[in-house]
Amino acid sequence: MRNLRGWLRMLACVFACAGAMLPAWAEAPVVGKPAPDFRLPDQDGKLHSLADFRGSWVVLYFYPKNDTPGCTTEACSFRDGYAQIRALGAEVVGVSVDDTASHLAFSKKHKLPFTLLADADGAVADRYGALTNLALIKFAKRQTFLIDPQGVLRQSWLKVDPDTHAAEVVAALRTLNPR
């Protein structure tokens, strides 16, 4: 029991001091400015860049981890709204620090019809201001960026409710890209 208390004290100290050990994070990109480019592998190992999506709206959503409750809810909501989103001229692209094999399993398990990108080192999440780095672990924050067909950021959601977010994105697309 004494040993456990010692470990808990040490862990508390690590988290209390973590702020001083962490690098400064990038700010989220500015609405109205070009969105940061990227080049990342998808769940099948194929490389994608933002330029590959020119001519389409892009729903670029960052999420913490495959197969966790909130991330699964969000992904399945985008899956369920995918036909609507595509009808509004947009592509859905999910990004996390998980690897391609994890993305492939997650995509197959939940029948996700869209691209999942593996940002293993967190560099792209960092450029979008969406990286959380807690010394020994890093993950993407749950944030979404709506990018127009010319690559300009049109809307961002820096706090997301996984249950309702896909509907918010559809509403924004209807406003910004009426068809």
Q: Catalogue the active-site residues.
A: 71
Cα(89)–Cα(170) distance, rounded to whole angstroms?
Answer: 11
Tokens of 168: 């918010």
Q: Which of 146, 126, 59 is nearest to 94 (CA)?
A: 59
- Residue 64 dihedral angles phi and psi, to the nearest 5°: -70, -50
Q: Reduced to 3 DSSP states, what percent helix, strand and coil does the chain have, rounded to the nearest 5?
A: 40, 25, 35
Tokens of 22: 């962490």
